[in-house]
Structure 1
Amino acid sequence: MAQRFILNEVSYFGAGCRKELPEVLNRMGLKKALVCSDKGLIKVGTTAKVTEVLDDVNFPYEIYSEIKPNPTVTNVKQGVEAFKASGADCIIAIGGGSSMDTAKGIGIVANNPEFSDIVSLEGCAPTKKKSVPIIALPTTAGTGAEVTINYVIIDEERQAKMVCVDPNDIPAVAIVDPELMYSLPKGLTAATGMDALTHAIEGYITKGAWVMSDMYELQAIKMIAENLPIAVDEPTNPVGREGMALAQYIAAQAFSNVGLGLVHGMAHPMGSLHDIPHGVANALLLPTIMEFNMPKCIEKFGIIAKTMGVNTDGMTPEEAAKAAVDAVKALSIRVGIPQTLTELGIKEEDIPALAAQAITDVCTPGNPRDVTEAEIVELYKKVL
Structure 2
Amino acid sequence: YGHWFAPRAILTGRIGSKALATSVSFMCERRKAFILTDTVVERHARSVAKDFQEAGFQTTIWNEAAPEPPIALAGKCADAMLKFEPDLIIAVGGGSTMDLAKAAWILYELPGYDLRAVSPLLPMGLRKKALLAAYPTTSGTGSEVTWASVLTDDSVSPPVKIALSSAEIVPDFAVLLPEFTVVMPCSFQA
Alpha-carbon separation, structure 2, partners of 1:136 and 1:162: 21
Alpha-carbon separation, structure 2, partners of 1:68 and 1:125: 29
SS in 2 for 1:113: coil
Match of 2:57 in 1: 59
RMSD in angstroms over aligned alpha carbons? 2.1
Q: 1:128 to 1:150 in 2, by over 3 A?
A: same
- Which string of whole-angstrom CA distances, capped at 9 and with x for unpartnered residues, describes residues 60-111 of structure 1? 0111222111111011000110000012122011111111111111112222
% identical equivalent positions = 26
| Pick aligned residue for 1:74 from 72, 75, 78 | 72
Alpha-carbon separation, structure 2, partners of 1:16 and 1:69: 29
The answer to whether 1:119 aligns with 2:104 is no
Q: What is the Cα deviation at residue 114 of structure 1? A: 4.8
Q: What is the Cα deviation at residue 120 of structure 1? A: 3.0
Alpha-carbon separation, structure 1, partners of 2:9 and 2:101: 18
Match of 1:13 in 2: 12
Match of 1:140 in 2: 138
Q: 1:165 to 1:69 in 2, by over 3 A?
A: same
Q: What is the Cα deviation at residue 36 of structure 1? A: 0.6
Q: What is the Cα deviation at residue 27 of structure 1? A: 3.2
CA contact (8 A) 1:135 1:172 kept: yes
Give the 4+ runs in structure 1 shifted more than 4 A.
none
Match of 2:153 in 1: 155
Q: 1:15 to 1:85 in 2, by over 3 A?
A: closer
The answer to whether 1:128 aligns with 2:124 is yes
Please identify the structure whose Cα radius of gyration is greater: 1
Higher relative contact order structure (alpha carbons within 8 Å, sequence separation ≥ 6): 2
Q: What is the Cα deviation at residue 163 of structure 1? A: 0.8
Could you state the TM-score of these two structures normalised by the residue count of structure 1? 0.45
Q: 1:186 to 1:99 in 2, by over 3 A?
A: same
* Higher normalized helix content (fraction of residues): 1
Q: What is the Cα deviation at residue 38 of structure 1? A: 0.8
The answer to whether 1:49 aligns with 2:18 is no
Uncovered stretches (5+) of structure 2, i.e. residues with no partner: none
Q: What is the Cα deviation at residue 127 of structure 1? A: 3.5
- List aligned pairs for 1:86-101, cutoff 5 A: 86-101=84-99
Alpha-carbon separation, structure 2, partners of 1:105 and 1:125: 17
Q: What is the Cα deviation at residue 166 of structure 1? A: 0.6
Alpha-carbon separation, structure 2, partners of 1:160 and 1:126: 23
Alpha-carbon separation, structure 2, partners of 1:35 and 1:155: 24
Alpha-carbon separation, structure 2, partners of 1:125 and 1:161: 20
Moved more, 58-67 or 152-161: 58-67
Uncovered stretches (5+) of structure 1, i.e. residues with no partner: 194-384
Alpha-carbon separation, structure 2, partners of 1:124 and 1:57: 35
- List aligned pairs for 1:88-237, cutoff 5 A: 88-115=86-113, 117-121=114-118, 124=120, 126-131=122-127, 132-158=130-156, 159-189=159-189, 193=190
Alpha-carbon separation, structure 2, partners of 1:5 and 1:63: 27
Alpha-carbon separation, structure 1, partners of 2:135 and 2:100: 13
Match of 1:23 in 2: 22
SS in 2 for 1:40: coil
- Which string of whole-angstrom CA distances, capped at 9 and with x for unpartnered residues, describes residues 351-377 of structure 1? xxxxxxxxxxxxxxxxxxxxxxxxxxx
CA contact (8 A) 2:92 2:98 kept: yes
Q: 1:135 to 1:166 in 2, by over 3 A?
A: same
Output the amino acid matched with 1:47. Answer: A
Output the amino acid matched with 2:16. Answer: C
Q: 1:113 to 1:126 in 2, by over 3 A?
A: farther
CA contact (8 A) 1:12 1:175 kept: yes
Alpha-carbon separation, structure 2, partners of 1:55 and 1:14: 18
CA contact (8 A) 1:34 1:88 kept: yes
CA contact (8 A) 2:35 2:89 kept: yes
* Higher normalized strand content (fraction of residues): 2
